[in-house]
Structure formats: C-alpha cells, structure tokens
C-alpha cells in the first residue's frame, strides 16, 4: 500500500491533535515538604506532645437541643449544616498510636482533666483505627490499620430519623457505621444536658475513662499528619472512592486529590510551604467561616511537655481537580478537534483519489 505525502501529513496532524487534546491538564497543584509529627512518645505511651488547636466558632442556634456559643470548628460545622466530614491524610509508622482528631470542653493544660472529651478519630494501642463519639456510652466503628500512608474519612451526621450516625472510611473503602441513642457530644450535648466544647485538636486530645485502647491520659499521635480537610456535607461513597483513586502514594510522599466543593477548610502541615514556617490554611471558604462566626481560621500550636515542633520528611502535593474533571473541562475542545479530524480525513481521501 502506498501513501501520498499529503495523506501522511494529514495522519500526523490528526495524531498530534489527539495527543495534545486528550491529555488532561492538572490544575490547582501545590507542592510542600514536611508533615506534622505530634509527639515522640514516653514511658506512658504518647502522653506528651504537640497538638494544633482548631479555630473556635460561635454557634448562635442549635436546632438539635445542644449548647450554643463558643465551640470547636468540627462541632460548629455539624450543628450548623447537620453533618461533618473530616478527611485526614497521615503516615502510620510501625506500632504508631494516638489521636488524630479530638475535642473537649477545656483546653490542653498541664495537669488538666477535661470533664467531657471525644477522641473522634484515633489509632488505638491494639493497632486499629477508631472513629466515634459519646452519648452516655462510647459508640465506635474500628478497623485494623497497617504501616504506611492512609486516607481516613470520619463522618458524623443527623439522619432522617433524627439519630446521629458515625461512619468511617479507610483508603477509599467503607468500613462501617454506628448510631447514637441520644444526641452525642459533637452536637454540644452531654448525656442529658447542654455542654459546650470550644476546643478541637489535630494530633492529640484527652482520653481518660471510657475510650478503648487508649492511654487514659492525653494521647498524642506519633506518626505524621500531612493534610486535614473539613467538609460541611456528608461525602458520598463515590466521592470518597474518587478522592483515594485520584491520589497517588509513593515511598517519599503523597499527591492527594481534595475537591474544594463543600470544603470549609483544608490544612496543609508543612514547615516550608508557608513563609518562615508559619502554619496557615491551604484553602478556606471564607463565606462559611463567617457564617460559623470564625474570625481567625489559623491553627494554634499547643505545646504539652515539649518545646519544638517536629516535622516529617515527606513530599506532599495537593491537587484540587481530579483528572476526570480536567478532562470534562476540555471536552468542548475535544469535540472541535473531532470535527477537524473528520474534515482532514475527507481532504486526505479526496487527495488520494486525485
């Protein structure tokens, strides 16, 4: 079979256009180095370290019967919007334990014992990841966890039957759901009366009493926390699965896909991304923050028995657009190219006949 020069040029042109068009661009990427390491451990497992305090919001109305006023960001989101989804990217070391997310009614202080507390998401002494709350008893869902990078998603929300549910996902897969018998602590309620929980943390909280597989003290995580994101909706199974599948994990770090739709705040823990090592949110929905009464969206380090912040040595990348979304953004251009391809083919065929 013989090809004319015109046809060869036409085919080359088609292939070039398809290559340029069908390779989806990647938008919204930010690279960083680090990852926050909350503690170094001690003879009593992980009872000292550093936690980052979440912003304090001001809840004016609680339609579920819980308290109002000053409350932590996680509770404020759940109360105001009916539910909370929290996403945590973290590196689990061998035998790593501690609290990833927690909240309590008093701040982390030396020799303090908060009257009420919830380690919302933590790795227990038995090597399992726990998610749950307190409604007079501890209600939780858990799953074993292995060393390496993980994406955990904990959701707490009011169902159609007015029960509160807690769901846990690990690495894009659904683990399970449990429900409360009465309004739990995330909604500013303690068994039979209102109680405010102003203080929320990343990296540690108090665990005395009823929380299984903890040190019954302040319980700081000893792995690396890279990214924390809070959403004002219950993320769907499909969205959570896509977040995991669109992310990439290597030995040296992660490239995490985090959609910004319905995101309230996304925090990136890095000593080098921000000027002078200053920690600031990576993404903030200022409209929602204003609705929640948050005047300062930054995190505040709480030093408990240590003086210096320890950082991991990982490459951390955040991508706020999935590849499928990027492809959809260029779909009109693809259609135009297909029309051009059809015209070129027709021209080539005419030239060949001549």
- Measure Cα distances from 163 to 64, 82, 166, 230, 310 in Å: 10, 11, 10, 22, 40
Question: For 28-38, what is the mean pLDDT?
Answer: 84
Rounded to an integer, what distance in angstroms lies between the CA atom of residue 313 and that of residue 340? 49
- pTM here is 0.84
Rounded to an integer, what distance in angstroms lies between the CA atom of residue 314 and that of residue 33? 6
Mean of per-residue pLDDT scores for the chain:
85
Contact yes or no for 130/98 (Cβ under 8 A): no
Task: State yes or no: pLDDT of 340 exceeds 60.
Answer: no
- Please provide residue 318's backbone torsions phi and psi, each rounded to the nearest 5 degrees: -115, 130
Residue 15 pLDDT class (50, 70, 90 cuts): very low
Residue 32 pLDDT class (50, 70, 90 cuts): confident
Instruction: Give me the residue label for tokens 């020799």.
Output: 111
pLDDT tens digits for range 62-102: 999 999 999 999 999 999 999 999 999 999 999 999 999 99
Residue 111 is predicted with a pLDDT of 82
Instruction: Give me the residue label for tokens 């989101």.
Output: 77
Question: For 317-336, what is the mean pLDDT?
Answer: 56
| Residue 230: Cβ-neighbour burial (10 angstroms; 0-12, 13-18, 19+) | buried
Rounded to an integer, what distance in angstroms lies between the CA atom of residue 120 and that of residue 152? 12
Between vectors from CA 236 to CA 232 and to CA 237, what angle results, nearest 5°? 145
Nearest to 269 by CA among 309, 220, 306: 309
Q: Helices H, strands E: what count in the chain?
A: 6, 24
Q: Please, which residues bridge with residue 263 across strands?
A: 231
Residue 247 is predicted with a pLDDT of 96
Residue 191 is predicted with a pLDDT of 86
pLDDT tens digits for range 136-146: 999 999 999 99
Tokens of 266: 């996304």
| Residue 43: Cβ-neighbour burial (10 angstroms; 0-12, 13-18, 19+) | exposed
pLDDT tens digits for range 195-248: 999 999 999 999 998 899 999 999 999 999 999 999 999 999 999 999 999 999
Contact yes or no for 87/175 (Cβ under 8 A): no
Cβ neighbour number for residue 218 with a 10 Å cutoff? 32
- Residue 195 DSSP symbol: -
Strand 173-179 and strand 117-123: pairing?
Answer: unpaired
Contact yes or no for 146/131 (Cβ under 8 A): no
Residue 299 is predicted with a pLDDT of 95
Residue 110 is predicted with a pLDDT of 86
Provide, rounded to the nearest whole percent, the portion of the chain with pLDDT above 90: 68
Who wins on pLDDT, 160 or 77?
77
Taking the chain, what is the end-to-end CA distance rounded to the nearest angstrom? 16
The 3-class SS string of 78-135 reads HHHHCEEEEEEEEEECCCCCEEEEEEECCCCCCCCCCCCEEEEEEECCCCEEEEEEEC
Question: For 131-156, what is the mean pLDDT?
Answer: 97
Q: Which residues of 64-78 are buried (b: 16+ CB within 10 A; e: fewer)?
A: eebbeeebbbbbbbb
């Amino acid at each position: 079979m013989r090809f004319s020069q015109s046809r060869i040029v036409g085919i080359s042109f088609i292939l070039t256009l398809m290559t340029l068009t069908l390779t989806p661009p990647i938008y919204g990427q930010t690279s960083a180095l680090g990852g926050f390491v909350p503690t170094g451990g001690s003879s009593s497992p992980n009872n000292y370290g550093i936690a980052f305090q979440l912003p304090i919001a001001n809840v004016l109305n609680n339609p579920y019967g819980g308290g109002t006023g000053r409350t932590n960001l996680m509770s404020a989101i759940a109360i105001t919007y009916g539910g909370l989804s929290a996403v945590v990217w973290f590196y689990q070391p061998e035998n790593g334990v501690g609290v990833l997310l927690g909240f309590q009614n008093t701040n982390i202080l030396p020799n303090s014992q908060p009257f009420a507390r919830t380690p919302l998401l933590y790795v227990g002494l038995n090597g399992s990841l726990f998610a749950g709350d307190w409604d007079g008893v501890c209600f939780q869902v858990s799953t074993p966890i292995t060393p390496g990078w993980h994406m955990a998603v904990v959701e707490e929300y009011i169902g159609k039957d007015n029960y509160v549910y807690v769901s846990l996902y690990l690495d894009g897969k659904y683990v399970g759901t449990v429900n409360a018998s009465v309004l739990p602590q995330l909604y500013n309620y303690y068994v039979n009366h209102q109680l405010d929980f102003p203080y929320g943390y990343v990296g540690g909280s108090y665990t005395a009493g009823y929380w299984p597989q903890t040190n019954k003290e302040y319980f700081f995580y000893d792995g690396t926390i890279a990214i924390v994101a809070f959403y004002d909706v219950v993320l769907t199974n499909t969205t959570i699965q896509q977040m995991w599948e669109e992310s990439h994990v290597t030995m040296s770090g992660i490239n995490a896909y985090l959609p910004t739709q319905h995101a309230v705040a996304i925090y990136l823990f890095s000593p080098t991304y921000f000027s002078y090592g200053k920690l600031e949110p990576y993404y903030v929905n200022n409209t929602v923050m204003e609705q929640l009464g948050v005047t300062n969206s930054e995190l505040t380090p709480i030093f408990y028995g240590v003086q210096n912040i320890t950082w991991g040595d990982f490459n951390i990348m955040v991508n706020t657009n999935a590849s499928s979304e990027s492809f959809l953004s260029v779909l009109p251009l693809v259609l135009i190219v297909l029309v051009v391809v059809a015209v070129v083919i027709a021209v080539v065929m005419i030239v060949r006949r001549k």
